[in-house]
Amino acid sequence: MKPHPALALLLASLVACGTQQAGDPPVTDPIEVELDIYSGMPNPTWVLSATDSTELRRRIEALPTTKAAAPAENLGYRGFLVRLAEGAEPARVRQVVQLADKSARDAGDRGLERWLLGTGRGKVGEDVVAVVEKELG
C-alpha cells in the first residue's frame, strides 16, 4: 500500500528540516537572557538568536574557572540571568559566571556582560542601557 502523496510530502519535509548541513551552527535550545536590574517590576528579558546562543556558549567555555561568588543583593544592576536550556536553573553573570551546576567562570573583565547587554539593544530601554554601561565602567 502506497502512502498518501500529501503524507509522503510531509514526511520528506520533516526529514529535510531536521537535517543539519556541514557548516551549519549547532542546534541549541533558545537561550533566554534576563537583565537583573529592577526590584518590584519585571526585569527586561529577551531570547538570543541561534548564532548568539552559540557564541555565548563559546564565550563561557573560554573563560577560566574560578571560585563561586555570592550574588549581589544591592538595588539596581545585579547582573544577568541566563537560561542555557529550557527549564534549567539560570546561570548568573556578574564578574563571575555562576553556572547551574555550581561551577564558576571568571568574567571579571566585564566583557561578557557588555556583550550580553549588546544583544539586548532594542529590547531594553536606552536609559537602562546607560545605567548598566556606567556600572560596567
Q: What is the pLDDT of residue 29?
A: 77
Residue 130, CA atoms < 13 Å, CB-side half-sphere: 3
Kindly tell me if the per-residue pLDDT of 34 is higher than 70: yes
State yes or no: pLDDT of 125 exceeds 50.
yes
Q: Is the pLDDT assigned to residue 50 strictly greater than 80?
A: yes
pLDDT of the residue at 28: 63
Mean of the per-residue pLDDT values of the chain? 82
> Taking CA 136 as the corner, what is the angle to CA 132 and CA 137, rounded to the nearest 5 degrees?
120
What share of the chain in percent tops pLDDT 70?
Answer: 80
| Of residues 64, 94, 89, the one with CA closest to residue 78 | 94
Q: In whole angstroms, how far apart are CA 6 and each of 13, 14, 116, 136?
A: 11, 12, 44, 56
**10 or 115, which is more confident?**
115
pLDDT at 75: 84
- Is the pTM higher than 0.85? The answer reads no
Q: How far apart are the C-alpha atoms of 3 and 75, rounded to whole Å? A: 62
Give the residue-averaged pLDDT of 40-59.
Answer: 96
Report CA torsion sign: 82, 84, 88, 93: negative
Measured from the Cβ of residue 81, the count of other Cβ atoms closer than 10 Å reads 20
